[in-house]
């Protein structure tokens, strides 16, 4: 009897052990069944004890006691192996992961959802809020690739697997997108009329920045550069539910599927704000084709003449954007000769002011010009051909070239001294007798002194190295690097005698000053070259050069001369230097 009881207890212990191992794998109905069986077993055992102890049923009671207890224990022994109480997972979770990722790559979101448990929103399946978000989402959806890494780890009804996912990383586009937006915005400004881009306060019109950003998204995101992609290792988890493995959408996997952001919708909104946060007014850049034989026609309504300096000051104030950091030499307090008129012109690309002023006893006409682009400083030859046999008045050449402001040049056809460059070509190379002034593609003045070069090849190299557009050969050099250049003798211009003089100077980048010293019907004697050098230096010119003087010296605005001309009659000349507006005719 004792041995039988010991065997019974051993069997019961083993059954309980199986039961405890099974609890972790039980779900729903299975766990309910176990609780019912426990109750039934307890009833059997209590009943057996009652029969054997309380009722003292003898041998029959003992047999029934063992029978009842054995039935309960037998149920626990059989249940774990029969599948009645415990769910044993089947199928390969790795196959489910592959199927899920394939559906994501194929944009079969219905199929992907079917493989997931609850809370399975991915983010990419949403309908885009606008065309811009659609571009991001389209690139994201087409950018996935993946690889399962290692073996699947299974623990009861749970499985885990590492996968390596390559995806389009949305934040990587931000820097390029910002740069592209600004670049496209600049291109829109340059290709459009100002009135089509800005309002009267220089704020962008509605839609301009949106257009720039939209084009930037198409170009930047559409190109999909390699560094926009990222590869990450993600641990995914599956649960065995209702007889099948189900993907569990964790935060790491969801963020990868959303391109590395929590929400594509919020990202698209924020990235646009970031791209446009530094957008400021972009000045429109106008320029004139280097090969053009004339500038655009200036707006005649913008020319003016007045004796009221405050009228000119109002024009100057309106040109603050063009003037920028330049320090004008003109000011309303200048004491003009006999309250003579001030001539002016101003648009977005050029400010020109011309006035008459007595300087150190000399009767001078001073003209100051600021331009927006180097292409506005140009040279005009009669007949637009080097060596053309016919000369014209400077006013006629100014009219043909649509000059805002013009002045005489070197009268190259009258003499054969110096180095002559026109439209980047070397036409004359006499290196020994005079100083030459060159104008490069940046609108800067360069000098070479008489005898500086020893060969034509050396001259050509200088022209090429410095991107020289044209030159004038008269001289001498008056000011270089802000210092007066003293010249005691010179083959041209009778430099030590009193004649009308014409000087061209550069104050700083795209800022020029021109001065004539004039005879005035016998009341003035003109000046010497030394006087011109002092005047140009005192005006603050970094560089200054003497042009042909005498009757040739004149300043022209609006097709007529504004300076005094000797004997009040223009000389026929072969060339001028002029400044043009850069605003195209169609926009005037």
Average the pLDDT over 343-356 and give the result: 97
**Spatial contact of 437 and 475, defined as CB atoms under 8 Å apart:** yes
- Portion of the chain with pLDDT greater than 70, in percent: 83
Residue 547, number of CB atoms within 10 A of its CB:
26
At residue 25 the predicted structure's pLDDT band, cuts being 50, 70 and 90, is very low
**Spatial contact of 336 and 357, defined as CB atoms under 8 Å apart:** yes
Question: Which pLDDT belongs to residue 81?
Answer: 45
Per-residue pLDDT for 28 more than 50?
Answer: no
**Spatial contact of 514 and 555, defined as CB atoms under 8 Å apart:** yes
For residue 242, how many C-alpha atoms fall within 13 Å in the half-sphere facing its CB? Answer: 4
The domain locations on the chain are 2-82, 93-276, 356-579
Task: Decide which of 187 and 84 is more confident.
Answer: 187
Q: Measured between alpha carbons, how far is residue 51 from residues 61, 68, 92, 492 in Å?
A: 5, 11, 52, 146
**What's the mean per-residue pLDDT of the chain?**
86
Question: Which pLDDT belongs to residue 564?
Answer: 87
Per-residue pLDDT reduced to its tens digit, 189-212: 888 888 888 887 788 887 898 899
Reading the block at residue 471, the tokens are 């030159």
Question: Which pLDDT belongs to residue 562?
Answer: 94
Helix axes 58-82, 2-23, angle to 10 degrees: 30
| pTM reported for the whole predicted model | 0.65
Where is average pLDDT lowest: 261-275, 505-519, 534-548?
261-275
Per-residue pLDDT for 23 more than 60?
Answer: no
At residue 37 the predicted structure's pLDDT band, cuts being 50, 70 and 90, is low
Residue 246, number of CB atoms within 10 A of its CB:
20
At residue 56 the predicted structure's pLDDT band, cuts being 50, 70 and 90, is low
At residue 364 the predicted structure's pLDDT band, cuts being 50, 70 and 90, is very high
Q: Measured between alpha carbons, how far is residue 57 from residues 43, 48, 206 in Å?
A: 18, 10, 102
Q: Which residues lie below 8 Å from residue 497, measured CB to CB, with a gap of 6+?
A: 528
Question: Which pLDDT belongs to residue 117?
Answer: 74
At residue 519 the predicted structure's pLDDT band, cuts being 50, 70 and 90, is confident
Where is average pLDDT lowest: 55-64, 266-275, 571-580?
55-64
Per-residue pLDDT reduced to its tens digit, 484-498: 999 999 999 899 998
The length of the chain, given as a count of residues = 588
Per-residue pLDDT for 399 more than 50?
Answer: yes
Write the DSSP assignment of 2-62 as a string of letters: HHHHHHHHHHHHHHHHHHHHHHTT--HHHHHHHHHHHHHHHHHHHHHHIIIIIS--HHHHH
């Amino acid at each position: 009897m004792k041995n039988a009881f010991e065997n019974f207890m051993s069997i019961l212990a083993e059954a309980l052990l199986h039961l405890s191992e099974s609890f972790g794998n039980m779900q729903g109905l299975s766990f309910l069944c176990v609780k019912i069986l426990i109750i039934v077993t307890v009833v059997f055992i209590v009943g057996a004890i009652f029969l054997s102890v309380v009722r003292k049923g003898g041998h029959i009671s003992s047999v029934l006691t063992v029978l009842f207890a054995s039935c309960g224990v037998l149920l626990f022994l059989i249940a774990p192996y029969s599948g009645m109480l415990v769910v044993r997972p089947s199928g390969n979770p790795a196959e489910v992961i592959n199927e899920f990722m394939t559906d994501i790559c194929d944009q079969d979101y219905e199929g992907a959802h079917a493989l997931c448990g609850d809370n399975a929103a991915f983010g990419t399946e949403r309908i885009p809020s606008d065309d811009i978000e659609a571009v991001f989402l389209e690139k994201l959806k087409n950018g996935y690739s993946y690889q399962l890494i290692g073996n699947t780890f299974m623990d009861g009804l749970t499985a885990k697997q590492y996968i390596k996912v390559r995806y389009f990383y949305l934040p990587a586009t931000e820097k390029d997108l910002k740069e592209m937006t600004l670049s496209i915005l600049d291109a829109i400004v340059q290709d459009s009329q100002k009135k089509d881009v800005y309002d009267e306060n220089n704020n962008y019109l509605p839609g301009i920045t949106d257009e720039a950003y939209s084009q930037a998204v198409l170009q930047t995101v559409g190109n999909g550069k390699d560094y926009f992609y990222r590869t990450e290792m993600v641990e995914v988890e599956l649960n065995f539910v209702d007889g099948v493995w189900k993907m569990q959408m964790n935060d790491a996997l969801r963020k990868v599927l959303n391109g590395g952001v929590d929400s594509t919708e919020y990202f698209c909104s924020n990235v646009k704000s970031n791209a446009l946060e530094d957008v400021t007014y972009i000045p429109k850049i106008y320029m004139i084709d280097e090969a053009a034989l004339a500038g655009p026609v200036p707006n005649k309504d913008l020319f003016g003449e007045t004796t009221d300096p405050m009228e000119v000051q109002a024009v100057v104030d309106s040109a603050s954007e063009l003037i920028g950091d330049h320090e004008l030499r003109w000011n309303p307090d200048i004491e003009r000769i006999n309250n003579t008129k001030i001539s002016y012109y101003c648009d977005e690309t050029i400010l020109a002011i011309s006035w008459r002023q007595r300087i150190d006893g000399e009767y001078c006409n001073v003209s100051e010009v600021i331009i927006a682009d180097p292409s506005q400083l140009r040279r005009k030859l009669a007949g637009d051909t080097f060596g053309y046999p016919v000369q014209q008045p400077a006013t006629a050449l100014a009219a043909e070239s649509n000059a805002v402001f013009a002045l005489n040049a070197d009268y190259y056809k009258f003499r054969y001294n110096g180095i002559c460059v026109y439209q980047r070509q070397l036409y004359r190379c006499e290196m020994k007798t005079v100083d030459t002034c060159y104008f490069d593609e940046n609108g800067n003045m360069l000098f070479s002194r008489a005898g500086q070069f020893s060969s034509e090849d050396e001259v050509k190299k200088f022209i090429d190295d410095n991107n020289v557009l044209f030159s004038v050969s008269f001289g001498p050099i008056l000011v270089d690097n802000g210092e007066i250049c003293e010249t005691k003798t010179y083959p041209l211009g009778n430099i030590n005698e009193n004649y009308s003089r014409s000087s061209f100077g550069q104050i700083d980048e795209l800022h020029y000053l021109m001065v004539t010293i004039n005879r005035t019907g016998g009341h003035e004697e003109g000046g010497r070259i030394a006087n011109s050098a002092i005047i140009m230096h005192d005006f603050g010119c970094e560089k200054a050069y003497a042009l042909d003087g005498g009757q040739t010296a004149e300043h022209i605005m609006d097709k007529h001369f504004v300076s005094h001309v000797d004997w009040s009659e223009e000389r026929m000349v072969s060339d001028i230097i002029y400044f043009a507006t850069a605003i195209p005719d169609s926009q005037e």
